[in-house]
A and B are shown apart, each in its own frame.
Chain A
Amino acid sequence: GQQLNQSPQSMFIQEGEDVSMNCTSSSIFNTWLWYKQDPGEGPVLLIALYKAGELTSNGRLTAQFGITRKDSFLNISASIPSDVGIYFCAGRRNRDDKIIFGKGTRLHILP
């Protein structure tokens, strides 16, 4: 089945640093989504991308839909303690296909 390769698997950073993570697929996707999961909670949508090349921001978060339609990137600027959690990328090929999730990037912030 379809798979999304998300990297890195985990990150340890200092508060205030910028963060970058990415997601790649062997198939073309027409929608890319980025979710965040706080410890012990369900994932919550951060950013949705619908067009190749699209760059969308949500506060300190910026995500891009890759030109090839096979990848997406998420950047977090000036990280703060509440950014801790697991970030999932997700993609969908067509309108009626199920959404496929990456395995997540676990973000740790060092004091």
Chain B
Amino acid sequence: DGGITQSPKYLFRKEGQNVTLSCEQNLNHDAMYWYRQDPGQGLRLIYYSQIVNDFQKGDIAEGYSVSREKKESFPLTVTSAQKNPTAFYLCASSIRTGGDIYGYTFGSGTRLTVV
């Protein structure tokens, strides 16, 4: 079955460390997105990619980095420059930037906690 997979489900990081969150899709989607979710804040866009080897900053890109070397994969690195990284991170994909008739397809999320 096609879908979008995020791993790990839970991640713990020590302050000052970088950590990479994985997002893989086998839906043959060109566009992929990373969102951060905090209580009461909704979904805030971190980075998005419309095509392989290209990506753009979203609304809260500071302290994060991404790569898009393969169509299927869009990993997110939370760097030590991100001052408040504890959050729920969601990856999504779609046929194109505007989404298809189903909007965006989301993964099941990674909860990152700084200890």
Contacts and interface: CB of A to CB of B under 8 A. Distances in A.
A21 B53 CA distance: 40
A contacts with B: majority SS: loop
A99 B42 contact: no
A99 B41 contact: no
Contacts of A59: none
Interface residues of A, number: 25
B90 A95 contact: no
Interface residues of B, number: 23
Nearest to A101: B43
Interface string B19-57: 000000000000000000000111101001000000000
Interface string B77-91: 000000000000010
Interface string A81-110: 000000010101011111101111000000
A45 interface: yes
B98 A42 contact: no
Nearest to B109: A42
A45 B102 contact: yes
B74 interface: no
Contacts of A43: 43, 90, 106
Interface in B66-115: 90, 92, 96-99, 101-104, 106-109, 111
Contacts of A74: none
B103 A42 contact: no
B1 interface: no
Given A95-B98, A101-B43, A41 B109 contact: yes
Given A35-B103, A96-B96, A42 B42 contact: no
